[in-house]
Amino acid sequence: MKILLTISTVVCMLILSSNSFGEVLKIKFTEDDSYSIEIARINVGDTIEWLPENEGHNVEFFAGPKMHPLPKTSEIDAVHTITFGTPGVYLYGCTPHANMGMLGLVVVGNNFDNIEKIKETQLSRVASSVLKRLVRMAQPGSN
Ligand SMILES: [Cu+2]
């Protein structure tokens, strides 16, 4: 996962070396009903682009450092692009599959100030255990 993230970051840097407005991280919807990068670590001002490489998925935000407004929900099977200007942890999932654990975290600026709020997000049992795992992976040594 880390290697993948590093590779995709390097690839993005190569592609976007002329872009002075931050990097773009690409996350795919996989055939396993998951996101290709479950924990995205980006800097303030970076952009994430979600690519609908498999059908039936989208991106809906459940929590973030600013709860109002949260980044907007995407259409099913649509490319979704969000630039993150506020540091903190964001939790998102696929509207039809979040309850099955199709979730992702975005950590902006290595800022975990709102992690307790993220942990309190009301989810299904399966999704809650996925969230616990993601939080542990995002912030080793915590709990
Ligand atoms: Cu889905």
Q: What single-letter DSSP state applies at residue 23?
A: -
| This prediction's pTM | 0.84
In three-state form (DSSP H/G/I as H, E/B as E, the rest C), the secondary structure along 104-133 is EEEEECCCCCCHHHHHCCCCCHHHHHHHHH
- When pLDDT is cut at 50, 70 and 90, the band that residue 21 belongs to is confident
Domains of the chain: 22-138 (2.60.40.420)
Is 57 a residue whose pLDDT tops 60? yes
Q: What is the mean pLDDT of residues 61-89?
A: 97
In the reported structure, the alpha carbon of residue 141 is separated from the centroid of ligand 1 by a whole-number distance in angstroms of: 30
In the reported structure, the alpha carbon of residue 103 is separated from the centroid of ligand 1 by a whole-number distance in angstroms of: 9
